[in-house]
Structure 1
Amino acid sequence: MKFSFANPTAIHFGQGQISAIATAIPTDAKVLVVYGGGSIKKNGVYDQVVTSLANHQWEEFSGVEPNPTKETLDKAVAIVKERGIDFLLAVGGGSVIDGTKYIAAAAHYDGDGWDIMTGSHQVQSAVKLGAILTLPATGSESNSGAVVTRLATQDKLAFLSPHVYPQFAVLDPDSMKTLPERQLKNGLVDAWVHICEQYLTLPTGAMVQDGYAEALLKNLLILGADYDNNDDDAWRANLMWSANQALNGLIGTGVPQDWATHMIGHEITALYGVDHARSLAIVQPSLLRNQIDYKKAKLEQMGRNVFGIDGDDVATRTIDAIEAFYQSLGVATQLQDYGTTKENAIDAVVGQLQGHGFTKLGENQSIDLDVTRAILEKAVA
């Protein structure tokens, strides 16, 4: 292991913590509150934000979609530039927070913000931002990454920059109380795959990272098995904190990472509108079976330490257990509704990956376009 690790985001966790933004945001800042479709006005979060910003100058921008689009976000970028906004407050789930990171970076760039997503512009600075998390899943509230879609071309790309770490994140489990069942289950699956992308690679002897990843995976298994009690305060708090820890950078330090499931899943979402988490559940089991020779040792470790599997063929049974976990939540593990033939759907996904330059994926770079096609043959119904 050799790494440098720092996470600058201050976490305000627990019930009633939205009030912390009153002092976390400088009172002389010009604030833009960014949110999605308006659910925060139904669950009491918006009212708490208004109260907490009583001594601030602020305005709002709404309408950020699930899988936020460049087309919508660029409207907010224009507002930030025109009105001298110097602090952004994202109120929502990972999509709103990701979108706000794009706004923060693009507002400090004179060119087309999409240059940030393609990597032709490296972010040098960004508007300061904070986050109030309402949907635990992505960990975006305390990491440096964001994923944005360009509708015009059905491109879904990611960028990373230390300049878009939120200054703070508020994690109040009460904000989850009115979430639809689909979104809660998506949160479980999304957090699970985030952990796997950093853990299911190859043995490195990284005891802290492996042990912490296994503890988080066991948390999610317990929460999934106890899903009927999702209205319990402790259930909500444990999901919110587990999802945050899954992608705040700690378990991925100094170890190989995969992310092939995400790269393929992004294309499925961009093309067919599949929920992000559900695209991951579609891709991952087939990918793991295809890559079992590379991942066998870590699959066996996961089987023993997370699922309690012993005996023969542990790696294969572990993949089966992962797929059964998704299915126990009612989450499909094959792409079924794509409005065309299976062959055309596979061609479309592979074509998008090729167009984006994602021709060798995984920790071993062993997933080329032919291997991706073989994975999709099993993942597409």
Structure 2
Amino acid sequence: MLNFIYKNQTEILFGKGQMSEITSRLPENAKVLLLFGGGSIKKNGVYDQAMSALAGVDVIEFGGVEPNPTYETLMQAVASAKEHNVNFILAVGGGSVIDGAKFVAAAYNFAGEPWDILVKGAEFSNPLPIGAVLTLPATGSESNGNSVVTKKETSQKRAFSSPSVQPVFAVLDPEYTFSLPERQVSNGVVDAFVHVIEQYLTYPVNAPLQDRFAEGILQTLISEGPKALSEPQNYDVRANVMWSATMALNGLIGQGVPQDWSTHMIGHELTALYNLDHAQTLAIVLPALMHVQKEQKSIKIQQLGERVFGFNYSDEAEQIDKTIKAVQDFFEAMAVKTRLADYDLDEQAIDAVVNNLEKNELTTLGEHGDIDLAKVKQILALAL
């Protein structure tokens, strides 16, 4: 097992009715920027519950944060936050809104060009504190310090991470997910699944507890994900999916083990260029990447097949191929297509992704740093 330091500062308020707890977690004399997305929270009752819980608190609203939040919109939120001298951000929505809140928090007191936080790793200090009310389980953003932002002007999707912008609390009420469209449910399950894979499907370092944690999350998503589509009002199913997505990327299963993230890096470029849903890009890239990297990932792919999918083929090559096919079949069962052609993309998209990766200096991906641009082309060609 590799060395690690781990601390998770987010207080999880899990279950029905936990919104009522948020006011007691706010700073004294709170002036809150309420950040949200396209307005669905005003249709499903979450907005009303939030405003009821915030009764007596000075609240400034900023809506319109997009899926795959854009730098351009978030800079407007920064301006609004500064204009009203807010001292706390409450992000109500899915991972995009919470990611956006982290960027706003970091940019609020940043003296330079805020895009440098994402592209140059510029240091920032004294970010605004954040609370989160999760409405779409997927990214785990509610209890980690990660943020991904897209700049429309340049078709760049870049990330930063800092424990200083991790939410101080997060409300996880499974009932808030009952009204989600099927597409968002599907995407959320696939996203969480791939988050686990990025931390699990590398090479062994004698970390059996992390492996078992990861396998438990994967098994739960495989079991409960399809039920979330067929039984949208099932509280227990939604609770299990929500908690699995949080546990997939709150840092726990990634401690002391190598991590990959190449599927995400390649997928980000597909989103930035063609506005595909994040989970759609992951479903396209991962099975093909597993094929191309099956020699390097051989032991863990076989372990995935045995422990998660129940395969026990005597032939190593068959075990690997069946496991990769099972991953792809799971994505399809969650109604997320797994080919570039399914999204009307062809060879030109491959070249565009490779060019963007080169422009963003992302030319050595993977846990071994051995996925170069030629391999990216090979992966995407296999995903056509």
SS in 2 for 1:336: helix
2:271 to 257, 269, 272: 269
Q: Which residue of 2 aligns with 1:298?
A: 300
Q: CA deviation at 1:339?
A: 6.2
Q: 8 Å contact 1:338–1:345 — kept in the other structure?
A: no
Q: 1:338 to 1:215 in 2, by over 3 A?
A: closer
Asked whether 1:325 is paired with 2:330, we answer yes
115-124 vs 198-207, which deviates more? 115-124
Q: Which residue of 1 aligns with 2:21?
A: 20
Q: Which amino acid aligns with 1:184?
A: V
Q: How does 1:1-381 map to 2 (within 5 A)?
A: 1=1, 2-226=3-227, 227-311=229-313, 312=315, 313-336=318-341, 342-380=346-384
Q: 8 Å contact 2:60–2:84 — kept in the other structure?
A: no
CA deviations over 1:331-365 (Å, ceiling 9, x no partner): 1111126667x232111000000000100000011
Q: 8 Å contact 1:149–1:270 — kept in the other structure?
A: yes
Q: 8 Å contact 1:27–1:55 — kept in the other structure?
A: no
CA deviations over 1:235-285 (Å, ceiling 9, x no partner): 110000000000000000010000000000000001011100110000000
Q: 8 Å contact 2:77–2:104 — kept in the other structure?
A: yes
Separation of aligned partners in 2, 1:377 and 1:125 = 45
SS in 1 for 2:35: strand
Q: 8 Å contact 2:225–2:241 — kept in the other structure?
A: no
Q: Which amino acid aligns with 1:320?
A: K
Q: CA deviation at 1:330?
A: 1.8
Separation of aligned partners in 2, 1:125 and 1:165 = 13
Q: CA RMSD in A?
A: 1.1
Equivalenced residue count is 379
Q: Which amino acid aligns with 1:76?
A: A
Q: Which amino acid aligns with 1:357?
A: E
CA deviations over 1:200-225 (Å, ceiling 9, x no partner): 00011101110000000000010134
Q: Which amino acid aligns with 2:261?
A: W
| Identity value in percent | 53
Q: Which amino acid aligns with 1:322?
A: V
Separation of aligned partners in 1, 2:136 and 2:162 = 22
Q: CA deviation at 1:230?
A: 3.0
Q: CA deviation at 1:120?
A: 4.5
SS in 2 for 1:220: helix
Separation of aligned partners in 2, 1:331 and 1:32 = 34
SS in 1 for 2:296: helix
Q: CA deviation at 1:122?
A: 1.6
Separation of aligned partners in 1, 2:337 and 2:52 = 41
Separation of aligned partners in 1, 2:82 and 2:226 = 47
Separation of aligned partners in 1, 2:376 and 2:118 = 23
Separation of aligned partners in 1, 2:370 and 2:9 = 34
